[in-house]
Chains A and B, each alone.
Chain A
Amino acid sequence: MSEAPRILYCHCAYAQVVPEEVKAAVLHRLCASGVAFDAVADLCEMAARRDTTLQRLASGGAVKIAACFPRAVKGLFHQAGADLPADRVEVLNMRTLSAEAVCQSLEGGVLTPNLPVEKSPAALAAAASRTKP
């Protein structure tokens, strides 16, 4: 049986882009559940500092991340030199999902990977032209 994914919660402390009530409800429920989890004040701030903490958070197996848009979260970890394994990460977007939907997914344990993986046609073409002899 595969292990339940870890949980990482981002508090988005330095902006009001994640609705306050969603953040509060998700954190509340995580605390009440008794489950172990990692929480960070602000993934953006850590990525800007290339904080090695992100490498620790990216390693250690499957993880569900409650934060914002999957494309942004992928980019932030990459920029910090801590690539997330696309097949073992699900990002739950607290900017668009209800607290109930985020909590149900966190508690459900089933991981549905959702990081974007496809390169755009323009990026593929540019990469191909750079590798031409």
Chain B
Amino acid sequence: MSIRDQSTLRVILYEGADAQPLDSGGTYAVMRSLLERGFAVTRASLGGSVAPADRTELLVLGRFAGGHAPRLEDAQGRVAVESLDITGLDADAVAGRVESQRELRGAARHGEWRPWFPVIDYDRCTNCMQCLSFCLFGVYGADSAGRIDVQSPDQCKTNCPACSRVCPEAAIMFPKYKAGPINGDVVTAADLGRERMKVDISALLGGDVYASLRQRSDDAKVRFSKERDEKKALAERQKCLTKLAQAGDIPAEVLMSLPPPDEILRRAQEAKAKAAAALQAQTTT
């Protein structure tokens, strides 16, 4: 199942009329415990407003009068609502009950995938398709209007920000990256200069990072075939790849897990063809 085909269970921690509020430590413990497990939680109380309802199922938690969860129904019959009394439960027990409800409803399961993927800053993007052409994992595509689009975020390799180095406009962000501007910090003129330099580095590697990778991989293959000690061979392979990893900020694990050279070549050609088609579509529309 794709990460996109899932609905989210909306949890409401209800501390309004007809329910006894938790003490502030209790509210914090329950909220935190639910958030750590990936849920979206609305704390509903008498002060302030929250996001409106949509058709998402609701699970309402509260310390209700008499310790009994009331039967709740959406007056317009559009949203399924379930309630759960949490009187006397600690934060972990509450999270356990919510998790059971999530499972029962087949709602999105969280935490199995670390959200690492590119986010495009369309205020900077010129739609040049270099990122599409560069990525070997099919993360990018073009939308129906011919605009660059992150189509398969879960195919992205965790901690690899290499495509952001390739983007000439510093338009690719990884919000969980350690430093700016890749993390979303403001782009400065100096950053743009630096970004360009990074592309020059990949040019120094032979104009094409993947061509260089293929060459190294082929060389390594020859060496590995002569090498009887597997551990030594692995160490040699790691040494070869470290240099590339440093040049493009690509984690060594990503390079180590790349497919065989002929498959790299096939994917690189496929990506280039997709980028060329997208650019062609731009000029003909």
Contacts and interface: CB of A to CB of B under 8 A. Distances in A.
Interface of A: 3-4, 6-8, 11-15, 17, 24, 27-28, 30-32, 34-42, 44-53, 55-57, 59-61, 68-73, 75-76, 78-79, 95, 116-120, 122-123, 125-126, 130
A44 B51 CA distance: 18
B269 interface: no
Q: Is the interface of B mostly helix, strand, loop or mixed?
A: loop
Contact of A119 (B111, B123, B282): B123
Contacts of A61: 49
Contacts of B127: 126, 130
Given A53-B10, A71-B185, 17 more contacts: A12-B176, A14-B114, A17-B175, A36-B48, A37-B48, A41-B34, A49-B3, A49-B6, A50-B4, A69-B175, A70-B184, A79-B120, A116-B123, A123-B124, A123-B171, A126-B126, A130-B127
Contact of B51 (A3, A60, A69): A60
A120 B169 contact: yes
Contacts of A51: 8, 108
Interface string B45-61: 11111111110100000
Interface of B: 3-4, 6-8, 10, 15, 21, 24, 27-28, 31-32, 34-54, 56, 108, 110-111, 113-115, 117, 119-128, 150, 153-154, 169, 171, 173, 175-178, 180, 183-187, 282, 285
B119 A39 contact: no
A41 B50 contact: no
Nearest to A24: B32
Contact of B184 (A3, A8, A69): A69
A44 B169 contact: no
A119 to B, nearest CB: 5
A51 B6 CA distance: 8
Given A39-B42, A56-B51, A56-B52, A48 B115 contact: yes
B123 A68 contact: no
Q: Is the interface of A mostly helix, strand, loop or mixed?
A: mixed
Contacts of A17: 175-178, 183
A51 B7 CA distance: 7
Contact of B40 (A46, A118, A123): A46
Nearest to A63: B51
Contacts of A123: 122-126, 169, 171
A133 to B, nearest CB: 12
B121 A39 contact: no
A6 B49 contact: yes
A25 to B, nearest CB: 11
A73 B36 CA distance: 20
A47 B24 CA distance: 30
Nearest to B21: A34
A48 B3 CA distance: 8
A79 B41 CA distance: 22
Given A39-B40, A44-B175, A60 B48 contact: no
B154 A38 contact: no
Contacts of B34: 41
A47 B3 CA distance: 11
A36 B49 contact: yes
Contacts of A30: 43
A62 B123 CA distance: 22
